[in-house]
Amino acid sequence: MNLREYQQKAVEWAKTSDGLIVAPAGSGKTWIAASIIKNYQNCGSGLRFGWLAPTRETCQQARTSLRVAGVPDEIVDVRCPHESVDFSKKDMLIVDEAKHSPAAGWRRIIESCNGLRYGFDATPWGDDPDRNTVTRTLFHNRTYEINRNDIGDSLADAYLEISDATDLNIQQKIDDNIDRLFNTRVKYMRIREDELKRMCAWESIVDIGICQNRERNKYAINYAVEHLDMQTLILIPRITLGEDYEHQIPNSRLVHSKIGKKDRRSYMEEFKAGNLRTMIATSLADEGLDLPNVELLIMVSGGRSSQKTIQRASRALRKTETKNCATIVDFSDKFHPIGAFHAKKRMTCYRELGCIFQ
């Protein structure tokens, strides 16, 4: 396996220390992890390795990378956290998408390994400082960071287009729905009122501001139809909304966690081959959706999470032999102050990714 210079430097660091390796999406974190295992395999026989990944797709990517690196299948136990996992006898553990580490199930699995622990993530840090502290502790408070400048021209340029398309006069409708949901749920949901209010607000933004926003969705659908020559990924927040998009966009497929694994894999392969031009996906695309040929990304989902925005936008930043640039379409969401605040948070993420604002 031929590694880029920044990838080789990460492997060299891993020879002297374990810890968390933070690197942008598309920088080849899976290759780095496989190379670290290969290096330790070469140092001595009998070592046992574990690999924790969030989805079946990411597990398959791990196995493929290990085979390319020349690591025998039988010495690395690749598992999802929902499986019966015991890494207590492993000498080393690789943790893909380490942002999940503070979750109870993940934390238990990681802490069971008393050997070396290497975490990998593009966006490991969230808004909760306590969770961030747990992540650092699980990986022994050691971090190695690869930034975009280290990668150089390995990522594609991304051009960002922001649309103001929205239905008019829906702010009051959203506010009324927030109050209705809150007044109903406060009677039986045992969570803090401020947390419940945020939950009701986000649900109302998604249902009314996004899913029922005819002008917003009309713009997204028309943009996709006008660019059927491009490999397009559309990210949506609800399956029902995705079904509407699939009906209106020729040669498109909706992919979500409830469809069969075989069909999901088939659609992804068709997309990679260029036979399927438009893929519509739910949060399944947040992790494990390896589609390097995405030329157009339409961000219908909304939201303010830095982790999710960077992860989703990075789907378009993979550079290939035939792709040097990509387009990202998002919305200013001025239909409500909450939506506009979320949009501004996403714009900050795009700037950090080096996107070129149109």
Residue found under tokens 């990681």: 110
Predicted pLDDT at 134: 96
Residue 60 lies in a domain: yes
Residues 302 and 160 in one domain: yes
The answer to whether the Cα torsion of 310, 284, 340, 248 is positive or negative is positive
Q: Give the pLDDT of residue 259.
A: 86
Give a yes or no: residue 192 inside a domain. no
The H or E element that residue 252 is part of is strand 252-255
- The total domain count for the chain is 2
With contact defined as beta carbons under 8 Å apart, do 312 and 149 qualify?
A: no
In a domain, 205, yes or no: no
Regarding whether 255 and 141 lie in a shared domain, the answer is no
31 plus 94 within the same structural domain: yes
Residues of the domain holding 140: 5-151
**Per-residue model confidence (pLDDT) at position 55:** 83
Does residue 145 share a domain with residue 74? yes
| Same-domain status, 28 and 137 | yes
Answer yes or no: do 147 and 166 share one domain: no
* Residue 168 and residue 136 share a domain: no
Q: Which residue in 135, 118, 153 sits closest to 27, CA to CA? A: 153
pLDDT recorded at residue 228:
95
For β-strands 76-79 and 116-121, DSSP reports them as unpaired
Where is average pLDDT lowest: 85-94, 99-108, 145-154?
145-154
Residues 143 and 228 placed together within one structural domain of the fold: no
CATH number for the domain harbouring residue 240 = 3.40.50.300
96 plus 163 within the same structural domain? no
Q: Are residues 331 and 301 in the same domain?
A: yes
Share of the chain above pLDDT 90, in %: 68
Based on the number of CB atoms within 10 Å of its own CB, is 339 exposed (0-12), middle (13-18) or buried (19 or more)? buried
pLDDT at 122 over 90: no
pLDDT of residue 285: 57
Q: Which residue has the higher pLDDT, 163 or 26?
A: 163
pLDDT tier for residue 307 given thresholds of 50, 70 and 90:
confident
Share of the chain above pLDDT 70, in %: 97
Quick check: is 25 in a domain? Answer: yes
Q: Please report whether residue 336 resides in a domain.
A: yes
- What pLDDT does 265 receive? 83
The answer to whether position 80 is within a domain reads yes
How do residues 317-336 score in pLDDT, each as one tens digit? Answer: 877 778 888 999 999 999 99
Q: What is the pLDDT of residues 220-260, one digit of tens each?
A: 999 999 999 999 999 999 999 999 999 999 999 999 888 88
pLDDT surpasses 80 at 58: yes
Mean pLDDT, the chain, integer:
91
Q: What is the 3-state secondary structure (H, E, C) of 228-241?
A: CCCCEEEECCCHHH
For residue 179, being part of any structural domain is answered with no
Q: Is 98 helix (H, G, I), strand (E, B) or coil?
A: helix
49 three-class SS:
strand
Q: What's the pLDDT score for residue 289?
A: 67
Final residue in a domain of this structure, among 118, 151, 184: 151
Which of the residue ranges 98-102, 117-121, 123-127, 179-183 would you say has the lowest mean pLDDT?
A: 123-127
Q: Give me the pLDDT at residue 229, please.
A: 94
Encode pLDDT of 163-218 as tens digits: 999 999 999 999 999 999 999 999 999 899 999 999 999 999 999 999 999 999 99
User: Residue 293 and residue 319: Cα distance in Å, rounded?
Assistant: 8
Q: Are residues 231 and 334 in the same domain?
A: yes
Q: Supply the pLDDT for residue 291.
A: 80
Instruction: Read off the pLDDT of each residue in 304-323 and give the average, rounded to a whole number.
Output: 82
Residue 246 lies in a domain: yes
Cα Rg of the chain (Å, integer): 21
Query: Smallest Cα–Cα separation from 26: which of 152, 129, 130?
Result: 152
Query: Is residue 157 very low, low, confident or very high in pLDDT (cuts 50, 70, 90)?
Result: confident
Residue 100 near residue 32 (C-beta atoms within 8 A): no
Whole-number pLDDT of residue 276: 94
The per-residue pLDDT for 96 is: 94
User: Quick one: 259 and 138 in the same domain?
Assistant: no
**Rounded to whole angstroms, how far apart are CA atoms 170 and 94?**
47
> Which residues, in sequence order, are CB contacts of 49 under 8 Å at separation 6+?
37, 40, 75, 76, 77, 90, 91, 92, 93, 94
Q: Are 141 and 174 contacting, i.e. CB atoms less than 8 angstroms apart?
A: no
